[in-house]
Amino acid sequence: MKGSHLDNIEIQATHFEKVSCFLKEIGIDYYVTDEDFDSFLKGIKIENGRLKINPKNLICIGDILHEAGHIACIPLDLRLSANDDISKSLGEEYTCEMGVIAWSVAAAHHLDIPLSEVFHKEAYKGDAEWLLEQYTSKNYIGLPLLQWMGLTAFEDELVEDKILPFPKMLRWTRI
């Protein structure tokens, strides 16, 4: 991956394999291409509810998790209408950016991928370091959105139903 702060090609390949298997497992469709294309995030684009990935242009594996999070947070019946700029293809109410960030963190934990891959220095318009600090200190910005979507548990469910807290998820995609 071009520009990734991971120097070890084997680690990059392992992370990519983990993410690929995870996306298949949770039902998020993607395909890999060597085609160059314009997109909001280098090397990855949402097209009709699918991820289009060019690994040679990708900055970090966390960007795949972020864009997959956008698809996961869209109701199932609208997913195929999602394109790179979700606010234009579906409407601002479906961007759920803070929930998507929390989803990406949960996915990174689940896959044992460092949060530095989600919050790399080119990410989040200069707020990546601050976001990394917040999530590392368990200040889970965006968690209420995931709870509202039914993807992770509310506090009262944790004790009552013996459910594990965030970053554990009840499910990975909205119904």
Residue spans per domain, the chain: 9-161
Q: Closest by alpha carbon to 43, among 63, 24, 58, 62?
A: 58
Read off the pTM. 0.93
| Distances in whole angstroms, Cα of residue 42 to Cα of each of 39, 45, 76, 130, 160 | 6, 8, 26, 22, 43
Q: What's at 95, amino acid-wise?
A: T
The answer to whether 31 and 52 have CB atoms below 8 angstroms apart is yes
∠ Cα 38 108 102 (to 5°): 80
Consecutive H or E run containing 44 = strand 44-47
Give, for all 175 residues of the chain, the pLDDT tens digit.
Answer: 554 444 567 888 899 999 999 999 999 999 999 999 999 999 999 999 999 999 999 999 999 999 999 999 999 999 999 999 999 999 999 999 999 999 999 999 999 999 999 999 999 999 999 999 999 999 999 999 999 999 999 988 887 777 889 999 999 999 9
